[in-house]
Amino acid sequence: MSTFSYMWRLIRYRPGWYVFNALVWTAIYLMPIVPGLITKEFFDSLTGHAATGLGTWALVALLVGFALARSATVYLGFITDVNFRFRMGMLLRRNVLEHILKRPGARAIPGSPGEAISHFRDDVDQSEEAVSWSVDVFGMTCFAVVSCFILLRIDAEMTTLVFLPLVIVIVAAQLATTRLQKYRAASRESTAKVTEAISEMFGSVQAIQVAGAERRVTERFRKLNDDRRKSMLKDKLMTEALDSVFSNTVNLGTGLILLLAGHKMRGGEFTVGDFSLFVYYLTFVTQFISNFGKFLTYFKQMAVAKERLTDLLQGAPAQVLTEANTLGEKGREPGAARLRANASDRTEQASAVAGHRMNKGPAVIGMAAEERLEQLDVSGLTYRYPETGRGVEDIRLHLRRGSFTVVTGPVGSGKTTLVRTLLGLLPQDSGTVLWNGREVDDAGNFFVPPRSAYSAQVPRLYSDTLRENILLGLEDRGGQLERALHTAVLEEDLRHFRDGLDTVIGPRGVKLSGGQAQRTAAARMLVRDAELYVFDDLSSALDVETEQKLWERLFADRGDATCLVVSHRKAALARADHILVLKDGRIEAEGTAEQLLERNESFRRLWSGDESGS
Amino acid sequence: MGKTAKTKSIGHYYEMLSRYLLPQRSALIGLTALLFGSIGLQLINPQIIRYFIDTAQSDRSLEPLYYAALLFIGFSLIQQVVSVIATYVSENLAWRTTNRLRGDLAEHGLKLDMSFHKSNTTGSIIERVDGDVNALANFFSSFIIHLGGNLLLMAGIVVLLFRENVLIGAGMLLFVIGAVFVIQWIRKYALPVWTKWRQVNAEFYGFIGEHLEGTEDTRANGATGFVMNRFYGLLRRMLPIRTKAFLGFASMWVTTIIVFALGNAMAFAISAYLWKQGSITIGTVYLIFYYTELLAKPIEKIRTQIEDLQKADASLVRIRELLGMRPKIQDGPGAELPSGPLAVEFDDVTFGYDDEPTLDGIRLRLVPGEVLGLLGRTGSGKTTLARLLLRFYDPREGSVRLGGVDIRECKLGELRTKVALVTQNIEIIQGSVRDNLTFYDESVPDERMIGVLRELGLGDWYDSLPQGLDTPLASGGGSLSAGEGQLLAFARVFLTDPGLVILDEASSRLDPLTEHRLERAVDKLLKDRSCIMIAHRLATVERADKIVILERGRIVENGPRKALAADPDSRFSRMLAAGLEEVLA
């Protein structure tokens, strides 16, 4: 997609607001025509060339009155501008966010979150700026046309000689701005590095403090900052040099008028009033030219921003960025007041549009009856991390309804990679997954509730109440939440929180211990009615007692749900219907615990190494 | 009250400027010279035009008019070059100064204790260290050029107008003072909304950051719709605030439009009066008009400068707040800890994150070289105890001593090289394997790192790295398995030489096989060192000499491991039995 069509699609997102905004801003830009004429009339009235015969006081009153009118228009202009650009910017952010949430979850963004945040912030702002300025360019062009017409009627020769160099400058500057893109890209790059460094420093703050490495880490940060300074300076110098060329044109123009006006003024065919009008409009033409230049710069910067936002999509077409989706409001009619009015009912609607309602909406029930998991067959499943070439290879797996399967193996053998690849959280390189014999094409979209639910090895919790962290928007029907809390052995902890389920956790609230976080994630998974539960190392941060309770309750409560579990705990292994032993990304052995104890050396070592009871 | 607030805020600016800007003296002086040149050129040009108009209106020779026009063009060209150089210099100055501030802020932030880091998302810290400082950078870079330079230009114009005529000079002086006053006054209304906008913005990016990190959980639990709804909810809150912030800007602009219309009107009225009296020429009328228009530029620039100030104001408040935040934990006077294994003593230590004590009257002794197994349920206070040893927090009552020295007497750096902590959370930073092992400490030789990796059973892993120690690791671990990450964390400890090692559930992510491989390494690690092993699994504490069991922040059992295991009434032996039951079940 070209930068132009990117901009065009953004404009078309809310054409009404855009047109309205353009009209208001055109009025704002056209209005200075009048004070120029008033000034001319003032000088002409002094020298006796006046056309209207208005006195000094009348002109003064007109001048002030006009300023008031323009002020009112400016207010309106800001309202239309903010409404349009907010929607447009947030559409970009919305589309990128939604796309990221659709990507294989374990590889959703290409770099670090800090880097991605800087794209969310700056690249979108840049795009917003460019589109918003296009309105100004239109308004300023109108001003140029009208003022040109007035000046031509006064003195055609002089107008041509003054405006011609300006046109040349625009062309020259246009050519020069192509160089700008390179510098801009470099400076944005170094900015992203700085943001990333901050994000990381503060993300790993405890490790840094423990290592006493505060100073060394800051030194590196200072170096990154200095790199940014250098690239920023290059960028700025180019921009500024161009800017000054633009604005110098006016002085050049005034100089040209002076050169030409001498004998005409002597002859009386060019009055001081005419001179003042020429210079007055010229000043606005300066603004026009430098703003036009600014727009071109923004436009170029938008090209960079577009590229970077597209990179964030990891291969999806740039059209995804500008897809005209709603921002949670009903219908298309904009208006901040209405936006707020029916907030709740819009939320409903948006969720219906935006994603899978994970609960048993009528459509889902129909699906569930037909797609009840009878068996899941996996063959040839392969994924290799592009950086290291390691991963899992040729995984074969068969899950019956109601079975309990454990994946085990030493560190780095690919257990987590296996479940992630199966669930589409990593993009598989090859392999087939059959759900009741039917092939699953898009695992990422397929393996969601009500088909499956998952709890990750290192679960992420959000700054919100405990309830929301578990439900994640799900409706609590028929005590599901309570059951999930019980199974996840959270009821005891809840009693200690002052606000119970409404306790806010995360950075602004209560910090959960590792075990509490893990059990919260378990509850998050269990509260979802799913055919298949996948959990990765559920008990790694739990104490013996709690872990024992968890397994017991899980077995008692799971009903006929199918479970796929990554664990090396005896409690899990002993209960398993089937165990896969992974080594170096391949299945080394499989069977029940008994069989494996007989046959497989690694398994024996895993088993006897586990101390929970020996 | 308003007045004290104002002087205080000016004080803040002064403090910031003197701390960060004044050290760059030579750049400042150069910049000032450039400014004076540029201002002089701007003031001369209208005089040329007046000469031009008056000469054109008279009967004198036309030839000097061409020279005047050429002079005009020449001066404007020089002025442009000067202003480009000035911008470059001031930009450079701004980046240098704010980079120092960024560095200082980061360094300061890293020293703050956990209670700060727990209450701030990384996204919101990025907003502060970068976003807020950026707002301040505009202020720094344009402070001299725009505020200083334009004030000077304004003063020059007023002086030159006084030279023409006292009436017009006095009128313009009043106008300038009035204009600046009105613009300042309007500013007061725009500032609070702007602060609010920055706040909601920080919250927004905090939200985005959290969800970019949690994509796996969101995706696989079908919560995409939920996240999008939260996103929309935030948008609904943001739009009205942004509209208000923009209207604040609009008010500033509108004010200048009206103020300048009034200024022009006054110039018209006074000069028409003087012209009709015959005391000034038409060229001077134009000169007055031109200077009035020229005043628009500095006042306009001062206005945008004030806009930057608004942003800077809000940002400055937050930056100062951050800088003013003293870590509760302060460096001690610098008592040395003995080398070799450290004795550990807790004397009636009580501590709590809030009113409720997390640790209550802890009394504990460990002779040098001893290994303590610390057991207890989640939330019983085990991790807190470890944090006290590293002085992430200080006890509310009682004291913690290492090798007989109260750790509050030590420098933090000293303490943290002598006490090593391996936790269940492995923090992998974006950088090479080397960076991750040493945290950019270049004094550690490669051979030692490789040796340690092999010792820990990461030899094969190391050999598989395409660029050896320079292989980049993705932030958050990426291609590392959790267990490998944990081994890497172990390696970090091996590379320092602590007298006390705290293993906080250190092996929780390791499978027994890997754990087994680690045993030898751990044996070596614990040789000639004291150790506290925090565990909720029993085998972890098999090598412990002593066992302490915590419950709700109190020690409920304390004794030699063997003795406790042998005593059938001890909690420890009951725990052992429970573990056994689990296998039988």
Beta-carbon separation of B578 and A521 below 8 A:
no
Candidates B124, B35, B47, B121; CA nearest to B85 is B35
- Residue B318 and residue B136: Cα distance in Å, rounded? 11
**What is the model's pLDDT at position A396?**
93
Torsion on CA atoms B223, B224, B229, B230, rounded to nearest 10:
70
**What is the model's pLDDT at position A18?**
95
Beta-carbon separation of B578 and A213 below 8 A:
no
Contacts of B241 in chain A (CB under 8 A): none
Tokens 């069509």 belong to A5
Residues 6+ apart with CB under 8 A from A212: B412, B413, B416, B417
Helix axes A56-102 and A33-47, enclosed angle (nearest 10): 160
Which residue among A46, A206, A346 places its CB closest to the CB of B275?
A46
Calculate the CA A211 to chain-centre distance: 34
Distances in whole angstroms, Cα of residue B181 to Cα of each of B7, B178, B296, B299, B447: 16, 5, 15, 11, 68
Q: Which residues pair with B375 in a beta bridge?
A: B535, B549
Q: Which residues pair with B400 in a beta bridge?
A: B346
- State the smallest CA–CA distance between residue B1 and chain A in angstroms: 31
Asked if A328 has any chain B CB less than 8 Å from its own CB, the reply is: yes
Candidates A86, A121, A131, A97; CA nearest to A336 is A86
Beta-carbon separation of A103 and B215 below 8 A:
yes
Candidates A494, A117, A204; CA nearest to B206 is A117
**Which stretches does DSSP call E strand in A358-504?**
375-384, 391-400, 404-408, 430-435, 438-439, 452-455
HSE-CB for A508 with a 13 A CA cutoff: 11
**What is the model's pLDDT at position B509?**
57
ipTM of the complex: 0.81
On whether the CB atoms of residues B187 and B252 are closer than 8 A, the answer is yes
Beta-carbon separation of B215 and A205 below 8 A:
no
- Residue A312 and residue A121: Cα distance in Å, rounded? 13
Kindly list the strands in the beta sheet with A562-566, ordered across the sheet, starting from the edge strand earlier in the chain: A452-455, A532-536, A562-566, A404-408, A578-583, A586-591
CB atoms within 10 A of CB B488: 21
In the 8-state DSSP scheme, what is residue A456? -
Kindly list the strands in the beta sheet with A430-435, ordered across the sheet, starting from the edge strand earlier in the chain: A391-400, A375-384, A430-435, A438-439
Helix or strand holding residue B371 (H, E): strand B371-376
Beta-carbon separation of B72 and A528 below 8 A:
no
Do the domains spanning A3-194+227-322 and A370-607 agree at the CATH topology level? no
Asked if A108 has any chain B CB less than 8 Å from its own CB, the reply is: yes
**What is the model's pLDDT at position A507?**
64
- State the smallest CA–CA distance between residue A182 and chain B in angstroms: 19
Residues 6+ apart with CB under 8 A from A287: A140
Residues 6+ apart with CB under 8 A from B115: B328, B353, B393
**What is the model's pLDDT at position B507?**
55
On whether the CB atoms of residues A593 and A574 are closer than 8 A, the answer is yes
Contacts of A448 in chain B (CB under 8 A): 219-222
Asked if B500 has any chain A CB less than 8 Å from its own CB, the reply is: no
Which residue among B92, B247, B378 places its CB closest to the CB of A78?
B247
Beta-carbon separation of A540 and B509 below 8 A:
yes
Kindly list the strands in the beta sheet with B405-406, ordered across the sheet, starting from the edge strand earlier in the chain: B359-366, B344-351, B397-402, B405-406
- Residue A334 and residue A83: Cα distance in Å, rounded? 9
Omega before B333 cis (within 30°)? no
Which residue among B129, B230, B378 places its CB closest to the CB of A542?
B378
Asked if A390 has any chain B CB less than 8 Å from its own CB, the reply is: yes
Tokens 């929607």 belong to A87
Candidates B127, B120, B262, B265; CA nearest to B182 is B262
**What is the model's pLDDT at position A296?**
80
- Residue A385 and residue A104: Cα distance in Å, rounded? 13
Asked if B189 has any chain A CB less than 8 Å from its own CB, the reply is: no
Which residue among B110, B285, B293 places its CB closest to the CB of A46?
B285
Beta-carbon separation of B87 and A106 below 8 A:
no
DSSP string, A121-144: IIIHHHHHHHHHHHHHHHHHHHHH
- Residue B372 and residue B364: Cα distance in Å, rounded? 10
Over the stretch A180-195, which tens digit does the pLDDT of each residue have?
778 888 888 898 888 8
In the 8-state DSSP scheme, what is residue B148? I
- State the smallest CA–CA distance between residue A158 and chain B in angstroms: 15
In the 8-state DSSP scheme, what is residue A504? B
Asked if A340 has any chain B CB less than 8 Å from its own CB, the reply is: yes
Contacts of B111 in chain A (CB under 8 A): 209, 214
- State the smallest CA–CA distance between residue B86 and chain A in angstroms: 10
Burial A282-311 (b: 16+ CB within 10 A, else e): bbbbbbbbbbbbbbbbbbbbbbbbbebbbe
Which residue among A121, A232, A262 places its CB closest to the CB of B56?
A262
On whether the CB atoms of residues B126 and A191 are closer than 8 A, the answer is no
Residue from A47, A202, A229 to probe the interface with B (highest B Cβ count within 10 Å): A202
On whether the CB atoms of residues B39 and B156 are closer than 8 A, the answer is yes
Asked if A232 has any chain B CB less than 8 Å from its own CB, the reply is: yes
Which residue among A233, A464, A542 places its CB closest to the CB of B92?
A233
Contacts of B286 in chain A (CB under 8 A): 43, 272, 275-276
Contacts of B114 in chain A (CB under 8 A): 206
Contacts of A57 in chain B (CB under 8 A): 269
- If you count residue pairs, one on A and one on B, with CB atoms under 8 Å apart, how many are there? 567
Beta-carbon separation of A448 and B496 below 8 A:
no
**What is the model's pLDDT at position A362?**
35
Token readout for A350 is: 């948006």
HSE-CB for A21 with a 13 A CA cutoff: 22
Cα nearest neighbour of B508 on chain A: A540
Can you state the percent helix, strand and coil of chain A, rounding each to 5? 65, 10, 25
Beta-carbon separation of B539 and A496 below 8 A:
no
Candidates B96, B544, B478, B296; CA nearest to A226 is B96
Over the stretch B258-280, which tens digit does the pLDDT of each residue have?
988 999 999 999 999 999 999 99
Q: Max alpha carbon distance in chain B (Å)?
A: 124
Asked if B5 has any chain A CB less than 8 Å from its own CB, the reply is: no
- State the smallest CA–CA distance between residue B388 and chain A in angstroms: 12
Tell me which of 2.60.40.10, 3.40.50.300, 3.30.420.40, 3.40.50.2300 is the CATH number of domain A370-607: 3.40.50.300
Residue type at position A14: R
Residues 6+ apart with CB under 8 A from A503: A465, A466, A497, A509, A510
Asked if B54 has any chain A CB less than 8 Å from its own CB, the reply is: no
- Tell me the mean pLDDT per 10 residues along chain B, length 585: 52 76 83 88 91 87 89 90 87 87 89 78 78 77 72 92 93 90 78 83 90 88 90 93 90 87 93 92 92 83 71 80 82 85 92 84 90 83 87 89 90 86 73 82 86 82 84 68 75 83 70 68 78 76 86 89 88 73 32
Candidates A161, A63, A269; CA nearest to B292 is A63
Asked if B76 has any chain A CB less than 8 Å from its own CB, the reply is: yes
Report helix, strand or coil for B325. Answer: coil
Asked if A343 has any chain B CB less than 8 Å from its own CB, the reply is: yes
Q: What's A3-194+227-322's CATH class?
A: mainly alpha
Beta-carbon separation of A209 and B226 below 8 A:
no
On whether the CB atoms of residues B264 and B149 are closer than 8 A, the answer is no
- Residue B373 and residue B572: Cα distance in Å, rounded? 11
Asked if B151 has any chain A CB less than 8 Å from its own CB, the reply is: no
Helix axes A156-203 and B63-111, enclosed angle (nearest 10): 10
Candidates B363, B62, B574, B464; CA nearest to A545 is B574
Point out the residues of chain A with pLDDT beneath 50: 331-368, 611-614
Task: Show which of residues 465-504 on chain A sit within 8 Å of chain B, judged by CB atoms.
Answer: 472-474, 493, 496
CB atoms within 10 A of CB A103: 22
Contacts of B239 in chain A (CB under 8 A): 82-83, 86, 336, 339
Asked if A121 has any chain B CB less than 8 Å from its own CB, the reply is: yes
- Residue A173 and residue A246: Cα distance in Å, rounded? 8
Task: Show which of residues 556-575 on chain A sit within 8 Å of chain B, judged by CB atoms.
Answer: 568, 570-571, 574
- Each domain of chain A, given as residue ranges in start order, spans 3-194+227-322, 335-369, 370-607
CB atoms within 10 A of CB B134: 18
**What is the model's pLDDT at position A610?**
52
Token readout for A132 is: 């918003």
Beta-carbon separation of A196 and B475 below 8 A:
yes
